[in-house]
Structure 1
Amino acid sequence: MRPSDSLRRRIVVAFLAFGVVCTLFFTAIAAVGVEGIEVHLVDNRLTDVAAWAAPRHTAGMPVDMPAGLSFHRADAIPQSLRDIPPGVHEIEVDGIGLHVLAGQDSAGRYVVVDHESDYEKVELIIYSAFAITFFGFLLFAALLGGFVARRVVNPMTTLADAVASRTTTLPLLDRRDELGTLARAFDGHTGELRGFLDRERFFTGDVSHELRSPLTVIMGAAEILMTQAKDESVRVPAERIYRAANEAAECITVLLLLARAPELAELPPVQVSDIAITEAERYRPMVSGKPVELICDAADDFSIRAPRELCAAAIGNLIRNACQYTEEGLVKIRLEGHIVIVEDTGPGLPAAVRATLEQPAGRVPSTGSAGTGLGLALARRICEYLGATLAHADRVGGGSVFTMTFPPVSRQPNGAMTRS
């Protein structure tokens, strides 16, 4: 999971964004208030003083100004203040900040100067307090967001880890909030799935065990007929019976292995090249009477941790179906990296079958160059169990190409699996 996708990070960012918006909003209101106070305390004060002093000065009456204020008219205006336009201004003269009101009446220009205004210092203190408050509120928002994120995300992470590790009893079941509701829903659904999988496993195992006995009897009887029969019309059907029963027995073995779901990480590695060569030689008789060349290129070998019977069943089903439906041309098996490729020059797969193969699961018709009956269904299921992927593509020039890709490292529902 990328850091940007983390729910904890999103909660903290949301709190920080909320803090920024709130502080900027209140800072803007406070700034407007500070400026309004400045107008009221400084500008209005200078205006009132000018309204009182200008008529008295024109009438020749004494103008006694409060401490820190001075009134100047005409030639008495200091040289540095003579060129300022009418209105209130903040200027600096000889390093001293002044508030100056410049005006004009019938007697000429005048200025009112405030020499001792401390409002700039007060304003600086106020804005410094705003800045400290801003960063303090952001820090508080980040800490609060982190606290809320931990309270929300940590239980969810604990619950997710428990579900992923297949813990029998999930945490948070006793909580009365939404997390408790979610935990109880997960627990109920997990229990239903576990029961369903157990019933399916038991059913598959029981049926497979029940089928072993009659298949053994059938194979034994067919073997006796093959050995003792002198008539070709009896021996050939007996061989077909024996071959079909043997394939059914192998299918049962695969179903039993899938039902038992052994831990792959605990199994010894098997060489895929040995399996590919063995399966190719096993089904070579299927193309011996046809103009078909069967090639097995297993030079690029690799090993996997898996039951040998499952690997042989998956690869063998692809080879068998390719040999069965290819009437002329080529059936080639090759290993490349961690990929097993089986290609043929058969008639190819119909569009309906190809669409069905693209679905995550399901049965498909048993027609096409690569065969899509129970054999292909088992191959797909074995690939899913082993962490591999089974893909189909059209071969250039006609036919089908099946690729079985084994990742170097894969995590499976029943545990970790390591590729060498």
Structure 2
Amino acid sequence: MPHRKGLRRKIWTAFILQAAAISFAAVLGVYGASAVLKHVLIQQALQEEAAHYWQRLQARPGAEVPDTYNMTGYLLPAGADASKVPATIRGLAPGFHALPRAQGGSLVLVDQDRNGHRLYLLFKQEQVDSLAFWFGMAPLAIVLVVIYVIAWTTYRASKRAVSPVIWLASQVQRWDPKQPEPALLSPENLPTDVEGETLVLAQSLHEFASRIEHFVHRERDFTRDASHELRTPLTVIRVAGDMMAGDDSLSPTARKALGRIQGAGRDMEALIEAFLILAREGDTGLPDSDFDVSEVVLDEVEKARVLVGSKPVKVECRIEQTFELHAPPRVLSVMLGNLLRNACHYTDAGQVVVVVRDGEIEVSDTGIGMDDVVLSRIFEPFYRGNNPGKEGQGVGLSIVQRLSQRYGWPVRMQSRPGQGTTATLVFPRSGPRP
């Protein structure tokens, strides 16, 4: 479903604002024109009429004042009785005046010649309104109608022009990011109005989606084949190592080398398992199930006891309060196994303790610990801190962090140099699902 603030909505808003702005400008222009008509043109016409009358009066004493359909005149000779002049204009000083509507609303010019005669010229308000309408409002209405028709026609044309883009966006919006459908944009499925730049974009997206689909199939084939092909030789190495370990005739040097081979094999199995889970993006390919956390913890602790070898390190597990999770148990095994492997590798003496509480698992050790600088970078891939001689590939904590982000299981790390490290996995009961 297209977003409410899509191209159509934006185009419609733009044309509404444009039509409103043009209408406002047109109304303002007509209002200004009517003001010019009222206060400039009519005023000038009255002044010219008064000047013409004074010329006629000088040439022919007793000339009649102007009295037409639009204009009425009154002459008040010097010293004469002003009762013949209407009371509404009798007291007006020489100049141009506009009477209020209550007094007729006429435009009045009061002019006086050098002999003291005063001339009153009234231009009827009805004629002013009529002129303002025919020369202002009527053209304004016609102009606004033309503007609206042009704006609507342009909007329809613009809407048709962007329709292919909107259609293309709706098709892409329906795609599953993990499995796009390039067939939707194949040439035979494109509407006839998809052309020009939109056609180029559709063809590019079709090619891009086809490549993504190919990559997705190739990645799935790789993870399927790798999970089989990589585990098979490791299984052979592990079984052969176990058989050799049962040979009492091995020398201490050979037995030590065999122990390293077995440890490296276990590390490689765990690393391959973690990489295969991470390679599947959001879909791990592992089924979710309800499982008891303590069972997974006890199993991983038992595996970790082999990692310490002959070092004076005791690996313990304390179940204070167990709980259940609904997730792939193998994911928790990978995360906890990496934390335990890291703790065993960096602890030369003392203990590694795993504590299970309600909603969290804590792995603490008495190893070499870390300062704040190293602690701030421990989740960087292949970062080994100041201990490059220790075993491991430097990716265990990076794997833990990536899985914790995917499953919404935050991991907290606390450490002090020489005092050990504590890692805590937290399991929010309403955490996001992968």
Shorter-chain-normalised TM-score: which range?
0.7 to 0.9
**Counterparts in 2 of 1:155-194, with a 5 A limit?**
155-162=168-175, 164=177, 166-174=179-187, 175-194=194-213
Superposition RMSD in Å: 4.8
| 1:80 aligned counterpart, secondary structure | helix
Pick the aligned partner of 2:122 from 113, 129, 133.
113
Query: Which residue in the other structure is 2:331 paired with?
Result: 310
After TM superposition, the structure 1 stretch with the greater mean CA deviation from structure 2, 255-264 or 132-141, is 132-141
Counterpart amino acid of residue 45 in structure 2: R
After TM superposition, the structure 1 stretch with the greater mean CA deviation from structure 2, 293-302 or 5-14, is 293-302
Query: Which residue in the other structure is 2:65 paired with?
Result: 63
Query: Which residue in the other structure is 1:413 paired with?
Result: none
**Counterparts in 2 of 1:277-288, with a 5 A limit?**
278-283=299-304
Matched, 1:123 2:125: no
Distance 1:305 1:402 in 2: 21
After TM superposition, the structure 1 stretch with the greater mean CA deviation from structure 2, 70-79 or 325-334, is 325-334
| 2:230 aligned counterpart, secondary structure | helix
Structure 1 residue 122 displacement after superposition: 5.4
Confirm or deny: 8 A CA contact 1:349 1:370 kept in the other structure: no
| 1:182 aligned counterpart, secondary structure | helix
Structure 1 residue 26 displacement after superposition: 3.8
TM-score, normalised on structure 2? Answer: 0.70
CA 184–68 in structure 1, closer or farther in 2 if over 3 Å, else same: closer
**Counterparts in 2 of 1:14-413, with a 5 A limit?**
14-39=14-39, 42-56=42-56, 59-74=61-76, 75=82, 76-92=84-100, 94=102, 96-106=104-114, 107-115=116-124, 117-120=126-129, 123=132, 126-127=136-137, 130=140, 133=144, 140=152, 144=156, 152-162=165-175, 164=177, 166-174=179-187, 175-229=194-248, 233=252, 237-256=257-276, 263=283, 267-271=287-291, 273-274=293-294, 275-276=296-297, 278-283=299-304, 290=312, 299=321, 301=323, 303-306=325-328, 308-327=329-348, 346-348=368-370, 351=373, 354-355=376-377, 357=379, 363-365=382-384, 373-380=394-401, 382-383=403-404, 386-388=406-408, 395=415, 408=430, 410=432
CA 387–27 in structure 1, closer or farther in 2 if over 3 Å, else same: farther
Distance 2:374 2:183 in 1: 43
Confirm or deny: 8 A CA contact 1:53 1:71 kept in the other structure: no
Distance 1:94 1:289 in 2: 112
Distance 1:101 1:66 in 2: 15
CA 321–178 in structure 1, closer or farther in 2 if over 3 Å, else same: same
Distance 1:208 1:227 in 2: 29
Structure 1 residue 66 displacement after superposition: 0.7
CA 405–191 in structure 1, closer or farther in 2 if over 3 Å, else same: farther
Distance 2:420 2:162 in 1: 56
Structure 1 residue 71 displacement after superposition: 1.4
Confirm or deny: 8 A CA contact 1:204 1:255 kept in the other structure: no
CA 54–342 in structure 1, closer or farther in 2 if over 3 Å, else same: farther
Structure 1 residue 100 displacement after superposition: 1.4
CA 108–394 in structure 1, closer or farther in 2 if over 3 Å, else same: farther
Where does structure 2 lack aligned partners over 5 or more consecutive residues?
Answer: 77-81, 188-193
Structure 1 residue 99 displacement after superposition: 1.6
| 2:106 aligned counterpart, secondary structure | strand
CA 163–38 in structure 1, closer or farther in 2 if over 3 Å, else same: farther
Structure 1 residue 113 displacement after superposition: 0.9
Distance 1:31 1:17 in 2: 21
Instruction: Work out the number of aligned pairs and report it.
Output: 406
Distance 1:18 1:242 in 2: 77
| 1:185 aligned counterpart, secondary structure | helix
Query: Which residue in the other structure is 1:13 paired with?
Result: 13
CA 98–261 in structure 1, closer or farther in 2 if over 3 Å, else same: closer
Query: Which residue in the other structure is 1:414 paired with?
Result: none
After TM superposition, the structure 1 stretch with the greater mean CA deviation from structure 2, 258-267 or 75-84, is 258-267
Counterpart amino acid of residue 66 in structure 1: T
TM-score, normalised on structure 1? Answer: 0.72
Where does structure 1 lack aligned partners over 5 or more consecutive residues?
Answer: 411-416
Distance 1:57 1:336 in 2: 115
| 1:102 aligned counterpart, secondary structure | strand
Q: Deviations over 1:106-149 (max 9, x none)?
A: 22443211235333255368459858939957994996577766
Percentage of pairs with the same residue: 22
